[in-house]
Structure 1
């Protein structure tokens, strides 16, 4: 196990903090909504440019086409020691193109602490830039460094539908994966809920709404009934939530709707709850038997817990935090899912929440605290130093 000198890392991170923040702002100002392929392509080009500017050209790189989704880019920088670490993060955001123009920054808190705000800054563009700078600082420290593979994907917010195979392939080839998602108020994330994205389709019978409404069977009315019943399947006390986030249907105001769809986000904490949700959704009935309900049970991410593979990685992160003078590094379980869920499901070492400190993911006014940028960057750099040798060797 090799540790980077702590004091120089913190000092250097503080010295270059304005440059790190400038890179963050530049990336945030290029909008990258998950459904805007042109914006995503440009955003990934910019992210690569920033990495090359700070780290030089990678020894290996590959751009994996995303098809209907944003591409996934892998950049590998060969280290000076035997370890190999993946730094993973997504560059897509939930915010559609044009959001930045009307963005309202939040007021400083009661303590007067500065907030830096923008669409996607917290989730998770600050983390991406901090990861790039972490490797730069680790290299500059003079300590041995592992080989680092950056993986930047452009479809995480919609389920990592094209990038999941790439993430899993990379995770299998490295000793440890660090996911640069935002922290939980400074805590790393070792537990995450599993997630499902169900598509509900109601197929009814069209008819003229004025001349013969009795001949129709409204898909919209039936879908509304289903959505209300589905909400009752939630069991927060068991860690299960159900949210219908999108609805569309019908063809005209004077036509009884023949078709309607809803997209439902489901979060679970255990496989038992997954089975229960499946059974209870299938058991829902609507009042008009002429309407057919079709359910696509699309479970996206399995639940993530702190397994035996990841526990030594958490221990190393805590050692790095103590050396940096950051005190006891906390860990937390959260309701959101991330690409770390995929890695944990493979039984491989992974830590999530290695990125920004702030608040408001997916909310207007999301922000980071810029005064935490140096410490978060140094923490990742320090952990990279401790992973200069393979994790198995470090833990033995």
Structure 2
């Protein structure tokens, strides 16, 4: 594969400009953080997407094409397309898809009690907030990256932003939109946070299993022997399921939700568990399926049913993505970075879907910080200019599709 021969925007000027507007980018990040967007709060998600669209239009103007895809019980997905510029614009002139989710794992109301982190041990400033690392910083940086690339005056590819509001719960509604958009684009960049500055080229596949136990209700005091506890049986299942994990093979199993029973004095007739499963290979996926199905509980009167919901396939650095990583590293070197490492992580993202299609994708192009899904979630604001410039510079090098 070879990349476009067109020169990138002047690396030094691009980096300097990103530094000049860094405070404005951070202001946009904080604006997005202040609008809470829990995956389960549909009014909050709708308001968050309206805000995100408004911010994009403020920075980039009206898109040449947009479509809001209804999410049903999930947040909507919005696509905004900005046509390429220069004499080479048009079909075959390069099309970059920038993907980012605006939903967060944090319940609405979390912001009010959030405490800002102190400086790091080396004195670096931190900024915290629900979703600031995962991944509202990436959203703002992506918008500003196109703005800075435009300001450079260099020819640019067509760029489509895809903002989805259900990534944290499995991209249940947005997955087909993502896959269709990725197939129309030449390259996909996912604005998820970095792994301590590294891009993410391998991610585990995920399963979101629901396990249901159906027992026999009875009075817990008068006739406990007539009951068959769904809670007891499901507890046995959960313990057995944990033993199916094989961390040495990259397989982890976590029961994160457990519900059951109708009253404290009733032998439970129903119980459910939500199980998060991470695997590094399809072989492990098959093994987990088989071994979970083989689990037996001690009371035969309880029926165990497993919904094998594999959500995202494992992601690896496929042949199509390797040249894209090389190009990103070239841009990073031009901008004065010593290196741009890549890494494998246990979490999954929407990049998994794109990689599974055999298409070029890089993930982890967003924030530098830490604490995803934890109360200490934060970013280093001093990294915002470099990360924004990296995406801007890479977009500027993609004025033609990557080709064999």
TM-score by length of 2: 0.97
Give 1:52-67 correspondences, 5 Å limit.
52-67=57-72
1:206 aligned onto 2:217: yes
Which residue is equivalent to 1:15? 20
| 2-structure distance, mates of 1:327, 1:140 | 26
| 2-structure distance, mates of 1:169, 1:127 | 22
Give 1:117-196 correspondences, 5 Å limit.
117-196=128-207
State the SS of the aligned residue for 2:288.
helix
State the SS of the aligned residue for 1:391.
coil
| 2-structure distance, mates of 1:265, 1:22 | 35
| 1-structure distance, mates of 2:9, 2:302 | 64
Offset at 1:328?
A: 1.3
| 2-structure distance, mates of 1:5, 1:106 | 36
Residue pair 1:34, 1:158 contacting (<8 A) in 2 also: yes
1:107 to 113, 118, 126: 118
State the SS of the aligned residue for 2:148.
helix
Offset at 1:360?
A: 0.2
Residue pair 1:182, 1:357 contacting (<8 A) in 2 also: yes
Give 1:1-396 correspondences, 5 Å limit.
1=4, 2=6, 3-80=8-85, 81=89, 82-392=93-403
| 2-structure distance, mates of 1:243, 1:99 | 24
Offset at 1:199?
A: 0.3
Q: Which runs of 5+ in 1 are unaligned?
A: none
State the SS of the aligned residue for 2:196.
coil
Offset at 1:105?
A: 2.0
Residue pair 1:103, 1:365 contacting (<8 A) in 2 also: no
| 1-structure distance, mates of 2:330, 2:70 | 39
Q: Deviations over 1:198-251 (max 9, x none)?
A: 000000000001110000000000000000000011100000000001011110
Q: Deviations over 1:5-50 (max 9, x none)?
A: 1011100000000000000000000000000000000000000000
State the SS of the aligned residue for 2:24.
helix
Runs of 4+ in 1 over 2 A off after TM superposition: none
State the SS of the aligned residue for 2:68.
strand
**RMSD after superposition:** 0.6
Q: Which runs of 5+ in 2 are unaligned?
A: none
| 1-structure distance, mates of 2:292, 2:309 | 12
| 2-structure distance, mates of 1:43, 1:299 | 28
Q: Deviations over 1:261-300 (max 9, x none)?
A: 0000000000110010000000100000000000000000
Offset at 1:368?
A: 0.3
| 2-structure distance, mates of 1:104, 1:260 | 36
| 2-structure distance, mates of 1:237, 1:285 | 25
Residue pair 1:267, 1:335 contacting (<8 A) in 2 also: yes
State the SS of the aligned residue for 1:71.
strand
State the SS of the aligned residue for 2:219.
coil
Q: Deviations over 1:39-78 (max 9, x none)?
A: 0000000000000000000000000000000000000000
State the SS of the aligned residue for 1:131.
helix
| 1-structure distance, mates of 2:402, 2:381 | 31
